[in-house]
Amino acid sequence: MKTILLLAATVAFGTGVALAASGDPERARILDGYAAQAKASDFTGFSAERGRSLYLGPHAGGKVADTPACASCHTRDPVGTGRHYKTGRDILPMAVSANPKRFTDPAEVEKRFERDCVNVLGRACTAREKGDFITFLSNQ
């Protein structure tokens, strides 16, 4: 059944695995928006593998030296509960399978990317990176 959904999503939307795995119309709209932005460059589709690399890092240049990767706070296993590096408070899992509401509120998604990309990468994330990231976590 997942294979049929994946094929249909690839043909219908051109965003491949990301949309098929998302299962939520709001998440699909967010990914479609990032795909439209990314198509202005050399976009050929989102990649779960690139999203995995973005999630696991390590990256240099981030605003916060204690967070060279998203996994610094969110754990290497995205289905696990993370812990904020500074406050110690729990962070809900990043994986859509463990947290189905993840990546369904466009304003919240953008708010988190705006803050966290600067902290981890030292710059804003591109639309392709955002789509790759969501694609990876939609498949976890």
Q: What is the CA radius of gyration of the chain?
A: 14
Residue among 83, 85, 95, 86 at smallest CA distance from 137: 95
What's the total number of domains in the chain?
1
The CATH number of residue 55's host domain is 1.10.760.10
Encode pLDDT of 25-45 as tens digits.
Answer: 999 999 999 999 988 878 889
What is residue 7's predicted lDDT score, i.e. its pLDDT? 31
Spans in the chain with pLDDT lower than 50: 1-21
Q: Which domain holds residue 47?
A: 2-138
Residue among 53, 35, 139, 60 at smallest CA distance from 96: 139
83 has which bridge partners? Answer: 90
